[in-house]
Amino acid sequence: MGTTEFGRALHRWRDRVSPEAAGLPPGGQRRVPGLRREELAQLAGISADYITRLEQGRATNPSAQVIEALARALRLSAAERAHLFRLGGLQPPRAECVPCELTPSVRRMLDRLTGTPVAVFDAAWTLLVANPPYAALMGDPAGWNGHERNGVWRNFLGLSDRVRLTPESRHALQAALVADLRAVTARYPGDQRLKRLVADLRAHSDKFAELWETGVAGHHDAARKTIVHPDVGTVTLDCDVLNVAGSDLRIMVYTAEPGTEDAERLELLTALHPSDRGDQDSATSARLKRRTSSGKSVSSSVSDPSPFTFTTPSITVSNQIRG
């Protein structure tokens, strides 16, 4: 493997991506033209030390998951992504695999929805990227690795602990997830990573194995999610999933009805975990903290993150509610 060339390419592409283009605050005076290693680490969910070792050629054989995360964070084109895989000693994922490349339109959407919890998943419900409001709402996924980043795995292995479900709603959700995953395996029969996921789920979850063997069919009803948050308490939100035609990506978006207590709580947790709005978020957070500590209801002059509408024909909205 050409580790030196891999590191040079990584450094070169890091230098060309500005913090603003990546959805990060400028961060004052900078000694580098593009992203700092720490910023790339944050975007890719990889340690800054590992990125340093990759760039210096001291780390060898990065996994396909690491290369894919770096390609997404660096906003590489399809040709550049394939080149990075080859520099890493791997073949680029083929069309028979579940696609996990973010399209430019999805990137632009994430850049604009800075105040709304948004996450992007592949067809098998593996988390590709989540914005800071989503991390504030559902827990920071930066430390999730391997199967921990898969929504089906987290649901059946009990890792999704913030969403409150009744036994009936949990069974319906799990049946729908199994049916969904079965359909994905039919679409991508050659994906070895997907096969390993299903095999590991069957080995580690008796419930999943039972539903898989029965060939259960399921569907996703329009519903709302009740989330128990450690900072703001219980918040009930609408959860919509947008299916991006042609790329098999799923975009999960949480919104609250304007003017409700849930909208205020969502605004509060976003302010308590500021993303890229700098001083405005800090001031909002301090103001909201004072109001809640004084026993008054939560309110703010910051506009409520309104539900978005898209006219882009390649994106369709469904009421699929995921755990």
Q: Is 113 contained in some domain?
A: no
Q: How far is CA 9 from the centre of its chain?
A: 25
The total domain count for the chain is: 1
Q: Is 66 contained in some domain?
A: yes
Q: Is 57 contained in some domain?
A: yes
Q: Is 31 contained in some domain?
A: yes
Percent of the residues in the chain that have a pLDDT greater than 70, as a whole number: 80
Q: Is 144 contained in some domain?
A: no
pTM: 0.64
List the domain range (segments joined by +) for residue 23.
3-87
Q: Is 244 contained in some domain?
A: no
pLDDT one-digit tens code per residue, 120-163: 999 999 999 999 999 999 998 988 889 999 999 999 998 888 99
Spell out the per-residue pLDDT of the chain, length 323, in tens. 445 889 999 999 999 988 888 777 766 677 777 898 998 988 888 899 999 999 998 988 899 889 988 998 898 887 888 899 999 998 887 768 898 888 888 888 888 888 899 999 999 999 999 999 999 999 989 888 899 999 999 999 988 889 998 999 899 889 989 998 998 998 888 899 999 999 999 999 999 999 999 887 665 555 689 999 999 999 999 999 888 877 889 999 999 999 999 999 999 988 887 653 333 333 333 433 443 344 333 333 223 333 222 333 344 444 443 44
CATH number of domain containing 26: 1.10.260.40
Query: Where does residue 105 rank: exposed (0-12), middle (13-18), buried (19+ CB within 10 A)?
Result: middle
Q: Which residues 6+ apart lie within 8 Å of 109 measured at CB?
A: 118, 251, 310
End-to-end CA distance of the chain: 40
Judge contact between 128 and 72, C-beta under 8 A.
yes
